[in-house]
Amino acid sequence: MKKVYAKAALGLIAVIFLFAVGSFLRENWAADEEPGAIEAFLARLIRGEPNLPEGNIRNPYQPTEANLQEGREHYEKQCAFCHGTDGRGQGDPGIQFYPPVPSLADLDAEMTDARMHFIILRGIRYTAMPSFAKVLTPEEAWKVVLWVRGLSGKPDASSKNFW
């Protein structure tokens, strides 16, 4: 039985090695171009759903004028450099990140408020998205989430109403 596991592990290592060599030779490695199909597939597969310790909690702040203004101020100070003031990411004159900066104006349904809050405070490893835990309090991060929801015009998938 151990031989079967050893052969399977060796086969897996060989496949990974061949993939790495093939990717290195075929894929484009420039940060200013779209990733190849294989890389895009693996990135979606690996990113998947993060382990959120707070689950799917709702934003405790209402979108009042004061909360939205504070969220906007923090967004413009901390986030707009990469995501742009309109949330669509940097245009042609902007810095090119790899992987590319996602548009916050086109959020998908899986981007709940809890997930966005988690990403703001924790960041995303192996990307240009840093952790803002030392810059923003959890309360300030929730207010940034409110502002980003306004940019996208899409409610949190877990909420029943949206301003």
pLDDT tens by residue, 142-157: 999 999 999 877 555 4
Q: Tell me if 55 sits within 8 A of 118, measured CB to CB.
A: no
> pLDDT band for position 162 (50/70/90)?
very low
pLDDT tens by residue, 12-51: 999 888 877 776 666 555 555 666 777 777 766 766 555 5
pLDDT over threshold 50, residue 161: no
How far is the C-alpha of 104 from the C-alpha of 151, rounded, in Å?
7
Nearest to 75 by CA among 145, 16, 25: 145
DSSP H/E element including 124:
none
The backbone torsions φ and ψ at residue 159, rounded to the nearest 5 degrees and listed phi first, read: -95, 155
Query: 142: how many CB neighbours lie within 10 A of its CB?
Result: 24
DSSP strands (E only) in the chain: none
pLDDT over threshold 60, residue 103: yes
Q: What is the mean pLDDT of residues 108-135?
A: 87
Q: Say what the pLDDT of residue 128 is.
A: 84
Q: Say what the pLDDT of residue 98 is.
A: 72
Q: Say what the pLDDT of residue 13 is.
A: 92
Burial class (CB in 10 A: 0-12, 13-18, 19+), 113: buried
Query: Would you list the domain boundaries of the chain?
Result: 2-47, 65-152
Which comes out higher in pLDDT, residue 18 or 80?
80
> pLDDT band for position 112 (50/70/90)?
confident
Residue count of the chain: 163
Is the bond leading into 99 cis (omega within 30 degrees of zero)?
yes
Burial class (CB in 10 A: 0-12, 13-18, 19+), 74: buried
Q: Say what the pLDDT of residue 160 is.
A: 44
CATH architecture of 65-152: Orthogonal Bundle (1.10)
